[in-house]
Structure 1
Amino acid sequence: MNQNGKAIEARLWDAADELRANSKLRSAEYSVPVLGLVFLRYADHKFQQAAQELVETGSRRRRIGPADYQARGVLYLPEEAQFSALIGLPEGENIGAAINAAMNAIEAENPDLRGVLPKTYNRFENALLKELLKTMNSVPMDIEGDAFGKIYEYFLGHFAMSEGQKGGEFFTPTAIVQLIVGIIEPFHGRIFDPACGSVGMFVQSAHFVEEHKGKPSADLSIFGQERVAETVRLGKMNLAVHGLAGDIRQGNTYYEDLHHSVGRFDFVMANPPFNVDRVDKERLKDDPRFPFGMPRTDNANYLWIQLFYSALADTGRAGFVMANSASDARSSELEIRQRLIETRVVDVMVAVGPNFFYTVTLPCTLWFFDKGKR
């Protein structure tokens, strides 16, 4: 993003931070509503562009309707959900209730977003919401390319930093994601992230395709799974502001294989939680996603590693973040690692220094699999 774009990001963040400071809410409570307004401003931007084009190219013999917008890959916004309607609300009108109604109206017209958009704006004071709407409305209509996507990612990163430990559950630093994507090169095919958070892996994969003159909507099929419902909503909005579609489902990946993943995907990318304990391995004993057996230690790292391996198609590639301790773990984990190495899919491992992540100060390792090299 150019300097003007960075200035817009900073100005929007300052307005959002003022909302936090004056609302007495924790970051986790105001982050989703703020990101919802970024989403709404993006949707309005695309809608107004499409409306102008439809007027210029359309026929006067029929009324332009929702199907015309959907055919252009644009969300249809009823009048009450358009930014101009919210900005023009009369003095004294309940702005929070109006934004909630706008979100409901968008979901009614766009079933893929049903249950996704935030509707808690009545918790904020009118004056704060009015200022935030005005700031969002100041984003110029001729803003370049994927600017709203970049703004959304900028906000995600700041919210992750402000939430500390919890923030890393939904956001992986962009530099790490770019490195993973650059190594496994997802030019075309089915991508899977079974711990997808706010879907940064998918967004960077789309950027990679665009940089190589491809079309993400045609070249990539996106599949994700995430345990936390609120994070699923963040991820679905993130896809939307980048103009992407994907099948993102809520579920506990250890026990629920919602995408029937075994042998299905060309690319697997993930940043799973490290060193998780108390996974009920009795429930997983006969699961084909764990072909090398159950680790006897109370640690899920080698469950994740097997999940990534088993999801790959015959020539698939994987890249994922893993705790350093998994690289030289002993006992049953060593046995699993040995069997994995014997398959010849382990391609390369990259050491990452400390303090790269919001949740982990210790160093970690990036693992890469390539079934096509066997």
Structure 2
Amino acid sequence: MATTTSKTLSQALWNSADILRSKMDANEYKTYLLSLVFYKYLSDKMLLKASELLESDTDDLAQAQRNFEEAFADEELRDELINAVKEDVSYVIEPKLTFTHLVDMVNKGKFQLEDLAQGFREIEQSSEIFENLFEDVDLYSKKLGPNSSKQNQTISALMKELATLDIAHNGDMLGDAYEYLIGEFAADSGKKAGEFYTPQPVSQLMTKIVMQGKENQKGFSVYDPTMGSGSLMLNAKKYSNEPGTIGYFGQELNTSTFNLARMNMILHGVDIENQHLNNADTLDGDWPTDEPTNFEAVLMNPPYSAKWSAEKGFLDDPRFSSYGVLAPKSKADFAFLLHGFYHLKDTGTMAIVLPHGVLFRGAAEGKIRQALLDQGAIDTVIGLPANIFFNTSIPTTIIILKKNRSSRDVFFIDASNDFEKAKTQNNLTPEHIEKILETYIKRENIEKYAHLASFEEIVENDFNLNIPRYVDTFEEEEPINLTELSNSMRATNKAIVQAETELYDMMKELTANNDETAQQLADLMSLLQVGE
């Protein structure tokens, strides 16, 4: 079997999207491509597992399909096999609905969209973990084609393209490829779909910070109440030495994106019992309210300055009640921050990305910020470069919060110039990430880059956390040599006079063939005349 690298798999999957690009934008075609990739993954995994259970191990999907069909045709063997497969992978797809069989039907010109739709339904009904997973995949959308025949052709072409890829054997590689696709979709659709994705370099930085010193902890719990596609949480798996024990708790309002996160978790090999995901509005209704409710790490990249109800009843909500005021209706930034902080363990660390306005805006936001500073909750403020997110070009800040700190000082890092310029986005390189992380860990002053501000300094600045107040990045301009400037101006003026004189002499040679042109020529020469 040919070796597949993460790069070639990612690129092949991305190239598959060419079939859909002319028909709809990335925010829509991502649902079709990612769902079909996931369905193929489940189908291939089940076929290979069935062959293993039948003691007919094979890496060939066509052979695995034949093994499965033969066993299914045997009534006595079928029930035993179904139970064994369900116990192992928690679902079963009928032989006639596997991805392998459906592609065979495509090649024979006998494929029907309803068969794929039925395959989706069988997966959804097989286990609670898959419930409503494909509900956003409209196989009969007019965007796929004006009629059922054209829709069939579009999906058939996409399935044929995906059929050539070895998905089931690549383990975490497929998860990485999935991450690549999600990032490409976000980049391809900009603001419209960028909200559901945090660029990997930012995710890595935030995750490394919240996991500092806890890499070996078993049962580590991570919570993202605005999880999008789940990518931010999943980074914990990369930096833990006990990845199989991590508990993932996430909530997402958008159902389509919620389903994307569920697929993302499964493709990254997260055990079902470690997934705790909820599809609801984080601010309107607190979650989770059943144990556990507090977590070792809280990671958040909420929608910036979103609107929320801010109804008075929230003043009695334990998430917000101790602050006496609510985040304004027009800017829910602090509502998200307080929600996340409420669910943070006393020994945990929280990292949240927000616009810079939260650092200095007054009124209710100023009161909340002061209350957080009074209790020493704000540990570090990191200024990020502009234009590193897909849904906004504004500069953002990562705020690190902790409970029960022994000090109320705040560490400031101005990393706004730490980026690599790309075509449309600025990127944090691994070197930039390590520089920020090392600075965060050492917590020492670095001229024009980092400053540890005492609580007294914070008070003197009226609890304003605007980074330039604490990290002076002003660069003095070199003094101007007036003598050199005068000489340069004289030389420039001399060259201008010489050029005008030469042009005037050349124009004296010109002649006009009528009175109007002669007058225009005279007017022009009067402007250039340099006093002969």
With the length of structure 1 as denominator, give the TM-score of the two structures. 0.88
Aligned to 1:120: 138
- Work out whether residues 6 and 174 of structure 2, in 8 Å CA contact, stay in contact via their aligned partners in 1: no
Indicate yes or no: 2:167 matched with 1:166: no
- Work out whether residues 81 and 103 of structure 1, in 8 Å CA contact, stay in contact via their aligned partners in 2: no
Which deviations, in whole Å up to 9, do the C-alpha atoms of 1:186-225 show, x marking residues without a partner?
Answer: 643332111111111222122222xx2x243xx1222211
Indicate yes or no: 2:233 matched with 1:202: yes
**Shift, 1:142, TM fit:** 7.0
Consecutive unaligned residues of structure 1, counting only runs of 5 or more, are: none
List aligned pairs for 1:171-190, cutoff 5 A.
171-185=197-211, 187=217, 188-190=219-221
Aligned to 2:10: 9
Indicate how the Cα distance of structure 1 residues 121 and 296 shifts in structure 2: closer, same or farther if over 3 A, else same: closer
Question: What amino acid does structure 2 have at the position aligned with 1:324?
Answer: H
**Shift, 1:140, TM fit:** 2.3
**Shift, 1:73, TM fit:** 4.3
Please point out which of 179, 185, 188 is paired with 1:153: 179
- Work out whether residues 269 and 319 of structure 1, in 8 Å CA contact, stay in contact via their aligned partners in 2: yes
Which deviations, in whole Å up to 9, do the C-alpha atoms of 1:282-305 show, x marking residues without a partner?
Answer: 231110011323246442111111
Please point out which of 187, 191, 196 is paired with 2:222: 191
- Work out whether residues 152 and 238 of structure 1, in 8 Å CA contact, stay in contact via their aligned partners in 2: yes
* 2: CA distance, partners of 1:97 / 1:20: 23
Aligned to 2:387: 355
Relative to structure 2, which stretch is displaced further, 120-129 or 263-272?
120-129
Q: Secondary structure at the match of 1:89?
A: helix
Indicate yes or no: 2:47 matched with 1:48: yes
Please point out which of 325, 349, 352 is paired with 1:317: 349
Indicate how the Cα distance of structure 1 residues 150 and 80 shifts in structure 2: closer, same or farther if over 3 A, else same: farther
Question: What amino acid does structure 1 have at the position aligned with 2:153?
Answer: A
Aligned to 1:101: 118
Please point out which of 69, 72, 97 is paired with 2:85: 69
Indicate how the Cα distance of structure 1 residues 352 and 69 shifts in structure 2: closer, same or farther if over 3 A, else same: farther
Indicate yes or no: 2:37 matched with 1:19: no
- Work out whether residues 90 and 126 of structure 2, in 8 Å CA contact, stay in contact via their aligned partners in 1: no
Please point out which of 261, 275, 278 is paired with 2:305: 275
* 2: CA distance, partners of 1:67 / 1:169: 41
- Work out whether residues 146 and 242 of structure 1, in 8 Å CA contact, stay in contact via their aligned partners in 2: yes
- Work out whether residues 285 and 294 of structure 1, in 8 Å CA contact, stay in contact via their aligned partners in 2: yes
Aligned to 2:365: 333
Indicate how the Cα distance of structure 1 residues 345 and 36 shifts in structure 2: closer, same or farther if over 3 A, else same: same
- Work out whether residues 27 and 162 of structure 1, in 8 Å CA contact, stay in contact via their aligned partners in 2: yes
Indicate yes or no: 2:400 matched with 1:368: yes
- Work out whether residues 50 and 74 of structure 1, in 8 Å CA contact, stay in contact via their aligned partners in 2: no
Indicate yes or no: 2:317 matched with 1:287: yes
Aligned to 2:36: 37
Indicate yes or no: 2:241 matched with 1:223: no
Question: What amino acid does structure 2 have at the position aligned with 1:256?
Answer: G
Question: What amino acid does structure 1 have at the position aligned with 2:284?
Answer: Y
Greater relative contact order, per chain length (Cα 8 Å cut-off, separation 6+): 1
Indicate how the Cα distance of structure 1 residues 62 and 102 shifts in structure 2: closer, same or farther if over 3 A, else same: closer
Q: Secondary structure at the match of 1:248?
A: strand
Indicate how the Cα distance of structure 1 residues 53 and 191 shifts in structure 2: closer, same or farther if over 3 A, else same: same
Q: Secondary structure at the match of 1:120?
A: coil
Indicate how the Cα distance of structure 1 residues 307 and 197 shifts in structure 2: closer, same or farther if over 3 A, else same: same
Which deviations, in whole Å up to 9, do the C-alpha atoms of 1:47-66 show, x marking residues without a partner?
Answer: 233223322399x9965434
* 1: CA distance, partners of 2:91 / 2:29: 24
Please point out which of 145, 160, 163 is paired with 1:134: 160
Q: Percent identity?
A: 25
Question: What amino acid does structure 1 have at the position aligned with 2:138?
Answer: T
- Work out whether residues 320 and 368 of structure 1, in 8 Å CA contact, stay in contact via their aligned partners in 2: yes
* 2: CA distance, partners of 1:286 / 1:343: 20
Which deviations, in whole Å up to 9, do the C-alpha atoms of 1:141-165 show, x marking residues without a partner?
Answer: 6743312212221221122122221
* 1: CA distance, partners of 2:239 / 2:84: 30
With the length of structure 2 as denominator, give the TM-score of the two structures. 0.64
RMSD: 2.6
- Work out whether residues 43 and 241 of structure 1, in 8 Å CA contact, stay in contact via their aligned partners in 2: no
**Shift, 1:81, TM fit:** 3.3
Question: What amino acid does structure 2 have at the position aligned with 1:267?
Answer: A
* 1: CA distance, partners of 2:251 / 2:167: 34
**Shift, 1:311, TM fit:** 0.8
- Work out whether residues 263 and 310 of structure 1, in 8 Å CA contact, stay in contact via their aligned partners in 2: no
Indicate how the Cα distance of structure 1 residues 294 and 76 shifts in structure 2: closer, same or farther if over 3 A, else same: farther
Aligned to 2:277: 248
**Shift, 1:70, TM fit:** 4.2
Q: How many residues align?
A: 365
* 1: CA distance, partners of 2:282 / 2:168: 41
- Work out whether residues 353 and 398 of structure 2, in 8 Å CA contact, stay in contact via their aligned partners in 1: yes
**Shift, 1:310, TM fit:** 0.8
Relative to structure 2, which stretch is displaced further, 339-348 or 48-57?
48-57
- Work out whether residues 194 and 391 of structure 2, in 8 Å CA contact, stay in contact via their aligned partners in 1: yes
- Work out whether residues 44 and 168 of structure 2, in 8 Å CA contact, stay in contact via their aligned partners in 1: no
